[in-house]
Each structure stands twice: as structure tokens, then as C-alpha cells.
Amino acid sequence: MASEYVIVLTTLPVDGEIAAAFARTLVEERLAACVNVMSEMLSVYAWEGTVEEEQERQILIKTSTDRLESLWERVKELHSYEVPEFVVLPITDGNDAYLRWMKDSTRPLGAGGDVPDGEAE
């Protein structure tokens, strides 16, 4: 059974202003209910035949599955990486009120309701 809610992982350069603007854009455009910008971390990865090390930020994007295609298109537009991380993890269970808030917060405007007053993080 497919999950109605997901967490999408991506990474961004360590610059906090870039990450904050990225997160705000996704939430303002209702592509994400919440975007968590994690602290600076070291990423070690294989790229074009060599092992690379970069300081990055892990980004957690909470959204509904019906927004994934639009989210992916927007991430590609906003992202500076040639091959951005876009890994989708299903949410199989959770607080019903929180999941409803996620759904309501990612519903396109004019598609059946406003965002509830009680925002959650």
C-alpha cells in the first residue's frame, strides 16, 4: 500500500542563507508542509571516479505524495548541484493530526481549504 505522506531527503551547500531561502520557497509554494535544515555535516561520496569530501546541510522535506512531481521539478530549478539528492521515504504511520496538517499545508490554494491555524513542526 502506497503511503500518502513522505519525507524527501536532499542536501545543499553549507551556506545557511541559501538553505533557508530554499526551505522557505518550498513551504511558501505549498510543496512542503515543513522543511528541516540540519546543521553543517561532512559528506563523503564518490563522484566521477574520485572520493570527494564536502561540508553540506541535510534537508528534510515533509510533504504529501500528490505533491512529489511538482516538488521534484522545483528542487531541480532551485538546486545548484548537477545531480541533486532526491530520496523519498514513505511515512507509514504517525500522529493523525500532524499528518492531516501535512496534507492541508501542501494542498494547492483553491483546492479545498485553507491551512489550519494550529501549525505543527
Residue 61, all three cell numbers = 522535506
Residue 60, sorted as left (phi over 0), alpha (psi -120 to 50) or beta, turns out to be beta
Q: How would you class 101 by CB atoms within 10 Å of its CB: exposed for 0-12, middle for 13-18, buried for 19 or more?
A: buried
Judge contact between 61 and 32, C-beta under 8 A: yes
Chain segment 9-20, per-residue pLDDT in tens: 999 999 889 999
CATH of domain 5-106: 3.30.70.120
Chain segment 59-104, per-residue pLDDT in tens: 999 999 999 999 999 999 999 999 999 999 999 999 999 999 999 9
Kindly report whether the global pTM for this prediction surpasses the value 0.95: no
Residue 4, all three cell numbers = 500518502
Chain segment 22-72, per-residue pLDDT in tens: 999 999 999 999 999 999 999 999 999 999 999 999 999 999 999 999 999
Which of 61, 59, 45 is CA-nearest to residue 11?
Answer: 59
